[in-house]
Structure 1
Amino acid sequence: MTNEIDDFVGKRLRRRRRLLGLTQQSLGEMVGIRFQQIQKYECGANRVSAARLFELAEALGVPVQYFYDGLSDRDMFSDDPFPEFLAPDVLSKKETMDLVRAYYSMGPEPRKHFLDLAKSLEASDGKAPLRLVAP
């Protein structure tokens, strides 16, 4: 039987896989299992063994602890690090992952300009005053 922690680990697995632009098939091949097993891990239907979690961490380029980051005694099952700013599922959407990948594929100067643009667009939605010129 699985529990909320298995679900949390599965969500972290899905988030990292999507961030890297991997399919379930390609990740499965990297660790020697079928994509259906990756699906079951990601939805929390199957528990990931310690050995498999280590293999997945190696394949995804993260420490094993990555899968548990965000668990706490106070709010053990929330995987949203910014609940007051983001919708709960925004970090698991393909669109978000595409945007993050594109952002980090830019050089430092274009990234700065892109971030400035995004902030100015956010400000134009009425939440904060729009500043068109630098102070």
Structure 2
Amino acid sequence: MLLGMSQEKLGEHLGLTFQQVQKYEKGVNRIGASRLFDLAKVLGVPVQFFYDEAPSGAQSAGAATPGFAEQPDESYVVDFLGTREGLELNKAFARVTDPKVRRSIVELVRALAGEES
């Protein structure tokens, strides 16, 4: 009850059993991006709330090696996934089943963003 809501009440808000909420909480079942987004809305917290203890790029990569570029901070990815647009984009991309089409989409987005492959 960290945020003042029981597993049973949380399950009701999400249309889940409290047992399923327990499985998510204990890590028995993985939680999808859309469910995580719904969970954040119900609890009134940003999606990043669930990632606060995850190591940042610099921490997980260790100390920078002299002569090499530092690891970029990619926390913006988590921020983007927490938006409606990010969720929409990820849901649509997940429905693309052809690996060649998926690769083409990634290359297109990189080109539009001005990145090299």
TM-score (norm 2): 0.47
TM-score (norm 1): 0.41
Higher RCO (C-alpha 8 Å, min separation 6)? 1
